[in-house]
Amino acid sequence: MTKNPSSAEPVVDADALRDQVKLKYRDVATNPEQEFHFHTGRALSRRLKYDEAITSRISDPAVESFAGVANPFSLRDLQAGEKVVDLGSGAGFDCFVASALVGDEGEVVGVDMTEEMLNKSRALADDMGLNNIEFRDGLLEELPVEDVWADVAISNGVINLCSDKKKVMAEIYRILKPGGYLQFADIANSKPVPQAAVENIDLWTA
């Protein structure tokens, strides 16, 4: 257990937490047909009201590892030509949706730390011939994106898995252009979390 000097809030060991997250989502990438404690795949995209005019054109292998918690595109329509960064892009589903929305003149960068997810998302983008997407290996706390590059940052159920959320938000602010948009979906709790629960890494990924 350590203290975040900027907030004095206790956080779990960041490296240990990342190892747990990678272990969990490695299976989502490589064995998406198994049962998880969260919903996945095309049925989930329908439940979250993604635009089926777009998702119906995305192949099943590109949807099967989707494990979001809501629909960040419901907050605002992406515009043609915008530059988008997906924070925790997984197997790429939200990037593929963003790619269709911003068009060939736009750009989409997906950032993820799980090798299996990156391998799958890159292969899928190649299979679909999507030339406006790039997937980069990196952490949300240290985004591999240049300053003031993005018009929009999106994220879907990932920021809650980061121990230092202030650092994540600082990185988002750094990469966004003035007047840029943050459109994210996540899990939040309005009640205080017991200290024992905060210290239990297993509960972070439960």
Backbone dihedral region for residue 103 (phi beyond 0: left; psi -120 to 50: alpha; all else: beta):
left
Residues constituting the chain: 206
Ordered by start, the domain boundaries in the chain are 2-204
- Mean pLDDT check: name the lowest of 117-126, 153-162, 182-191: 182-191
Are 82 and 151 contacting, i.e. CB atoms less than 8 angstroms apart? yes
Q: Could you read off the pLDDT of 11-59 as tens digits, one per residue?
A: 678 888 898 889 888 889 999 988 888 889 999 999 999 999 999 999 9
**CATH, domain range 2-204:** 3.40.50.150
**3-state secondary structure at position 158:** coil
Rounded Cα–Cα distance for residues 97 and 170 (Å): 26
Cα 140 to Cα 143: distance, rounded to the nearest angstrom = 5
pLDDT > 50? residue 10: no
93-to-26, 57, 148, 191 alpha-carbon distances in Å: 16, 12, 24, 31
Confidence at residue 8, expressed as pLDDT on a 0 to 100 scale: 42
Model confidence band, residue 174 (pLDDT cutoffs 50, 70, 90): very high
